[in-house]
Amino acid sequence: MKKIAVINGPNLNLLGVREKSIYGDTSFDSYFAGLKSRFENVELTYFQSNCEGSIIDEIHRVGFDVDGIVLNAGAYTHYSIAIADAIRAVKAPVVEVHISNVHSREEYRHVSMIAPACRGVIAGFGLKSYDLAVEALL
């Protein structure tokens, strides 16, 4: 069975509550239950943290074990060289994911520090971006 780790960064614990016009009204927990049922043949795990160091620790922890990582680093995407370095340090390929189309938003969201370290980037398809990322990693 393939193993894929989903990692969410800051403020993504408030999905379904936060800025619903941008991020929708579904909580990640309920979305994740559906994701698991759509990919029954994949061992999917989920981790979320609002702290940069904890995200890095989790990338280190799973990054030599799983077959791929789906990472929505939230705002850290735009300025965390440390997360980019963590992605480069591990074995598992990482797909950068965004719920919103970051390129149609503020200019500071157009920059990704982590994209060059990732296998690919999926943005703008709502929560379906995570489904697409899992599919891409399989």
Q: Which residues are annotated as catalytic?
A: 23, 98
Tokens of 36: 């698991």
Site string for ligand DQA, 105-124 (x = CB under 6 A): ----x---------------
Q: Which residues fall within 8 angstroms of residue 103, CB to CB, at 6 or more apart?
A: 109, 110, 123, 124
| DSSP secondary structure letter of residue 68 | E
Query: Rule CB under 6 A: is residue 87 a binding residue for ligand DQA?
Result: no
Of 75, 81, 89, 111, the one binding ligand DQA (CB under 6 A) is 75
Between 63 and 130, whose beta carbon lies closer to ligand DQA? 130
Q: How far apart are CA 138 and CA 2, in angstroms?
A: 8
Q: Which residue type, as a one-letter code, is found at position 75?
A: A
Nearest residue (CB) to ligand DQA, 4 versus 70: 70
